[in-house]
Chains A and B, each alone.
Chain A
Amino acid sequence: MVGAPRRPNAIAVAAILVMAIATGCSSAASTNSPSAAGSAGSSTIAPVTVSILLPDNVTQRYEGQDKPAITAALKKYIPNVKVDSYNALGDGSRQLSQAEDALANGSKVLIVIPQDSNAAAAIVTAAHKDNVPVIAYTRIINKSPLDYFVGKDSLTIGKQEGQWMVDNTKAGDTIAVIDGSPTDQNAKLYEQGYMSVLQPLFDSGARKLAGELWTANWDPTAAQNEMDQLLTKNADNIHAVIGPNDNMAGGVVASLTTANLAGKVTVTGLDATVAGLQRIINGTQGMTVAQDIPTMGDRAGKLASMLVAGQTPPGDFFPGTTDNGSVKVPTVYVNTMIISKQNITTAIDDGFVTKVQLCQGIAPGTGPC
């Protein structure tokens, strides 16, 4: 030990592990990228600030689809709007700081995709202190006096997925269930949804349950390993798999490919990603669920414009309410659609993907390519 000045000591080593854990999933830098737009030309009207708080930069749709859709709607309905957007990079406490920054910058409305559905209650509290309304977008904020929710109905999507599974398997088939992240409220709602359809069949013996596993962080690698294990456990006797989203369905299909079962086992997905749609064309994935993100963004923008103008949104703006554990939150549900091989062209027609994107790496003449 003597004369080893550059050797890291135990504290440094502990710090390494702690830091590595703290930064393991995502990056640690704080990005506060006010993508200010608005109408610089019409200088007579003071700009109104609306802030968008995104949860992470790893899931493609938030920065790539939701932010542009909301921003476009805000500009359409509020001519003098200044849109600030923040990305929490997968860190719930960073998102709270960013919400405080947004309020300090004079935001009139917060549109929040909570990183953590429970911890984000603090964001609602902070906003209400400044009399700023909060719109939860795509994920609900639990146990808080949340003002509005614009999003999908995860429970119903789960039920549709379960029903699709029933329709596409036959009596006596064995079904494996791979769930999403146990920390994500949506993953639990999906699970409740499809299990509400499937559990009675498992109980009656009309279908057999091959096993159910939850997957931390929606990790496709973990899903692939889990599928390996479920195949081993059931000696390959699995006819269908509930895969909670397209990324994880990709892991499941990779596992099935190794076992020479890809295309023979029905796999479900969610999110209508390009990779997922390509697997549907190739026949290795059965279905995915597309959300109407342009409409979702449009509704959030329209709602924000009414709030900025000081209007109370009319009751018929909200087709339903969502119980978040404290209040019944007025809710705009956005349509979802099951996409399978039969209606894959609608994915192109409705603008989820371009044909060029979809057909990259797919043999010409396969499906719509």
Chain B
Amino acid sequence: MIASGSVDGALRLGAVDRLRQRIGQGELGPLPIVIGMAVIWIYFQIQNSNFLTPRNLTDLLLQMTITGTVAAGIVLVLLLGEIDLSVGSMVGLTSAILGVLLVQQQQPWWVAIGVALLVAAAIGAAQGAIAAYVGVPTFVVTLAGMLGLLGMQLWVLGTTGSINVADPSVTFLFTTYVPPILGWLGAVALVAGYTGQKIYSNKQRLRLRLDPESWSGLLARPALVALVVLISVGVLNEWHGVPLAAFVMLLLVAALDLLLTETSFGRHVFAVGGNPEAARRAGINVARIRIAIFSMCALMAGIAGFMSVSRSLAASTQTGSGTLLLEAIAAGVIGGTSLFGGRGSVWSAPLGALVMASLANGLDLTGEPPDIKYIVEMMVLLVAVTVDAVSRRSRANSGR
């Protein structure tokens, strides 16, 4: 099971039939999360009328951006059926490197950012290599990484503890908004690009004599995407415009999604995640895929480290600590990526992160204490993994 469409004999199924068939076979995709999100949003809107305002939705996007970026990296690793526990410490380490180089060492911004991202990618690749060549489970390798990177973070920060960063070359990301006109243009370009990609891949299917999608099936998704994107841009333009940081995060996710769904590298990732032994016998270099994916995951965490300096205007010993790692893993799972490998989409990262951020945001607006927040997050996470497990079982039953 590699490509996203399904091959169902010669019958051309309409969009509705196809959807019904998919649900019956446990191919839920983003459906549960969208329903869940609707329930959460409506509930909080009833509780507090500030929830669905352009301003709060803008805040919400900014609040989910860092978790979403880390989670996108985590999803890559989950697709391999692996885990990376070091991403939280990686965010902390890269933010510390950035802060120290920029403020204490007075280096230019591109040196600071370049060094931080290079360190991240290199450490990620090293972790992947240890797992791939030595055969240590990634759970243990990255657990060790989590401890070691936290140590390096504290060492880099030294006795200072917390560094204020006011350099506009870093802070611009979370203080800049895309001007409304550009926002609209971008939205139209995005929808056009997505539709084009759908049509192109359908042509490819025809060329390869695969069962093409029906027109209704082909255009249903782009229409839905257009609706969501245009409404979002319209709402965000009511406040300051689309926040640049969230836009960058979505661009990164879109790029990763293209890489996974449209390239042979991406197909290899799904193949290794589905069954590493079969992938190896099919001639895929499993070790190289592992190393590349762990490096990319760490790089995403490094970018998130940059983002968290930009957002909190500081690098401190607490950056990347706390619940960031857990929230990122939870976001991937809540978004619908299977913990069992080979199934999911990078888009589950921003979706899941948005759910987590919505909960925290709404519970703040209604003035709930942290204990309630944790309990609610637990319930949402449990529901998400239950949906994953149940849909997995119905896939097994329908022989897929």
Contact surface of A with B, Cβ cutoff 8 Å? 1, 3-8, 10, 12-13, 15-17, 19-21, 23-29, 57-61, 64, 182, 211-222, 224-226, 228-230, 232-233, 246-247, 250-251, 253-254, 257-258, 273-275, 278-279, 282, 357, 360-361
- Interface residues in B146-185 by Cβ distance below 8 A to A read 146-147, 150-151, 154, 157, 159-166, 174-175
B122 contacts chain A at the CB level, 8 A cutoff: no
The answer on a CB contact under 8 Å between A247 and B316 is yes
Give the CA-CA distance A278 to B316 in the complex, in Å.
Answer: 14
Contact: B147 with A29, CB < 8 Å?
yes
| Interface class of chain B by DSSP | helix
A294 CB, min distance to chain B CBs, angstroms: 15
Give the distance to chain A from B132, nearest Cβ to Cβ, in Å: 11
A174 to B215, CA, bound (A): 57
Please tell me which one of the listed residues B160, B321, B369 contacts residue A182 in the complex, with CB atoms under 8 A apart: B369
Does the CB pair B326–A21 fall under 8 Å?
yes
Beta-carbon nearest neighbor of B162 in chain A: A275
Complex contact A258–B371 (CB within 8 A): no
Decide if B370 touches A3 in the complex (CB within 8 Å).
no
Assess whether B361 is in contact with A60, with CB atoms less than 8 Å apart. Answer: no
Inter-chain contacts of A273 with B (CB < 8 A) = 161-162
B159 and A278 within 8 A (CB): no
Do B370 and A279 have beta carbons less than 8 Å apart? Answer: no
Pairs of residues from A and B, 10 with the lowest C-beta to C-beta distance, nearest first: A60-B161, A216-B370, A229-B364, A275-B162, A27-B147, A228-B59, A361-B103, A64-B159, A254-B313, A232-B56
**Residues from chain A with Cβ under 8 Å of B174 in the complex:** 258
Chain B residue nearest to A271 in the complex (CB): B161
Nearest Cβ on chain A to B277's Cβ, whole angstroms? 7
What CA separation (Å) do A12 and B340 show in the bound complex? 10
- Nearest-neighbor residue (CB-CB) of A5 within chain B: B277
B→A interface (CB under 8 Å)? 48, 50, 53, 55-56, 59, 62-63, 81, 83, 85, 88, 103-104, 139, 143, 146-147, 150-151, 154, 157, 159-166, 174-175, 274-278, 308, 311-314, 316-318, 321-326, 329, 339-341, 360-361, 364-365, 367, 369-371, 373-374, 389, 396
Q: Are A224 and B312 in contact (CB under 8 A)?
A: yes
In the complex, residue of chain A having the shortest beta-carbon distance to the beta carbon of B99: A361
Distance in angstroms from B400 CB to nearest chain A CB is 12
Q: Which A-chain residue is minimally distant from B83 (CB atoms)?
A: A16
Instruction: Give the shortest distance, in Å, between B272 (CB) and chain A (any CB).
Output: 10
Asked, given contacts A60-B317, A232-B50, A274-B160, whether A221 binds B277 with beta carbons under 8 Å apart, the answer is no
Given contacts A8-B81, A216-B374, A254-B312, 7 further A-B contacts (CB under 8 A): A4-B277, A20-B85, A60-B160, A60-B161, A225-B59, A229-B361, A274-B162
Cα–Cα distance between A13 and B162 once the two chains are bound (Å): 35
Closest chain B residue, CB of each to CB of A262: B313
Pair B164/A250 contact, Cβ less than 8 Å: yes
**Pairwise interchain contact A4-B313, C-beta atoms closer than 8 A:** no
Contact assessment for A26 and B325 in the assembled complex, using a CB-CB cutoff below 8 Å = no
Partner of B365, one of A214, A233, A253: A233
Question: Would A4 and B275 count as touching, CB distance under 8 A?
Answer: yes
In the docked arrangement, what's the CA distance between A216 and B373, Å? Answer: 10
Residue of B nearest to A227 (CB): B364
Residue in A64, A253, A360 whose beta carbon sits within 8 Å of that of B161 in the complex: A64
In the complex the two chains form, what is the Cα distance from A18 to B56 in whole Å?
Answer: 33
Query: 24 pairs across A/B with beta carbons < 8 Å?
Result: A3-B275, A5-B277, A6-B276, A8-B81, A8-B339, A10-B389, A19-B143, A20-B325, A23-B147, A26-B150, A26-B321, A57-B154, A60-B161, A213-B367, A218-B318, A250-B312, A250-B313, A257-B175, A257-B313, A274-B161, A275-B163, A275-B316, A360-B104, A361-B164
The distance in angstroms between the C-alpha atoms of A1 and B88, with both chains bound, is: 31
Minimum CB–CB distance from A292 to chain B (whole Å) comes to 18
User: How many angstroms from the CA of A244 to the CA of B174 in the assembled complex?
Assistant: 24
B317 — which chain A residues lie within 8 A by C-beta?
A: 58-60
Cβ A361 vs Cβ B313 within 8 A: no
Q: Which of B48, B275, B370 lies in contact with A233, CB distance below 8 A?
A: B48
For residue A3, which residues in chain B have a CB less than 8 angstroms away from its CB? 275, 277-278
